[in-house]
Amino acid sequence: MAKREQICLEARGLTKVFGFGRNKTVAVDHVDLTLYEGEVVSIVGESGSGKTTLAKILLGLINETEGEVYFQGQKRDIRSYRQKQEYWKNIQAIFQDPFSSYNIFNKIDSVLLDCIHMRGGRRLPYEKKVELMAEACRFVNLKFEELTNKYPFELSGGQMQRLMIARIFLLKPRILVADEPTSMIDACSRATILDMLMQLRNEIGMTVIFITHDIGLAYYVSDTVYIMERGRFVESGSADKVILTPSHPYTKRLISDVPKIYEEWDLSTV
């Protein structure tokens, strides 16, 4: 699926250190990462391996201690907040916990309206905005008429995560960082949400960084897999290569921790 033509995002020697002295923790340790346009990349590791920190650095939500990030061939410069706002037009995220991702004081309409405004649709007539929002909701199997004037916490976890995908549908970013988007969702909704995500990717051709602890899931969705242990990438390569012929013991352990991998996902279809 990967075209392997144009590099979309590149990280060189990315390091993040929390604290100092005795309490020093190296969350991300000299990580190199290359993302090609339109590719789906999985970063797999157990909790505490630094996946989320890496995702937040790539998103520009926290600053790296060392290293550089190149976005579409140019060195990323997001020191000022205005530059960050510009950068965030290209990169978006879906967070792990849908229940804490929304501001509980804002209604659902305002979440979606923000996206339209960010895409430069501030001056559109209201009917047009409603049309756009309804279209986005339809894409994720939600009914916009039922969501207006509701608060996010009135929805179920799966609905909230689908609303998150509707956001991405409206924003159409170049890169999407999906930080364990299905880990808080029950198993039935999980496949639906993943399918929606993949369908959306095919439609708008964005690059996806998929962060998960579930190596089976990573195999299901991704072209390239990076295995992360204690802040470092221990193994990387195409999904087939890494998962079917793992070389690093940590990868082997991760795979053996998911015994149902061959039952749950039919490999022949991927």
Partner 1 sequence: MKHTLRQVFRSGKFLFGFSIFVSLVLIVLIYPLLVPDDPLRILGQGTFFPPGIYVNTYDSINTSTKYTLNLPNADVRRLESKLSQEDRLAMREWLIAAGIAESEIDIENTSSLLALWNSNYDPKKSIPGMTNARRNYFIRLNNSLKGLTMAGDLVVASKNAESGGLEDLGVVKDTDYVNISEVANVRLLLLGTDNFGRDMLTELVTATRVSLQIGFVAGLIATLIGLTLGLLAGYVGGIVDDIIMFFTNLFTVIPSFVLLILISYSLGQEQRGAFTVATVIGFTSWVWTTRAVRAQVVSLRNRDHVNLSKLSGHSIAHIIIHDILPYIASYVVMALILQISSGILAEAGLSILGLGPKTTEVPTLGLIMRWAMIYQAHIQGNWWAYLPVLVTIALITFSMNLMNTGLDQVFNPALRD
Measure the CA–CA gap between 182 and 192, rounded to whole angstroms: 10
Nearer to partner 1, 34 or 90 (CB): 90
Does 20 help bind partner 1 (rule: CB under 8 A)?
no
Q: Which of residues 50-79 bind partner 1 (CB under 8 A)?
A: 56, 59, 61-62
Does 115 help bind partner 1 (rule: CB under 8 A)?
yes
# of chain residues touching partner 1 (CB under 8 A): 27
Does 209 help bind partner 1 (rule: CB under 8 A)?
no
Does 9 help bind partner 1 (rule: CB under 8 A)?
no
Q: Interface with partner 1 by CB under 8 A: which range of 113-121, 189-197, 211-219, 230-238?
A: 113-121
Among 53, 92, 182, 236, binds partner 1 (CB under 8 A): 92
Shortest Å, Cβ 151 to partner 1: 10
Shortest Å, Cβ 61 to partner 1: 5
Does 102 help bind partner 1 (rule: CB under 8 A)?
yes
Q: Which chain residues interact with partner 1 by CB under 8 A?
A: 56, 59, 61-62, 81, 84-85, 88-89, 92-93, 95-97, 100-106, 111, 114-115, 117-118, 167
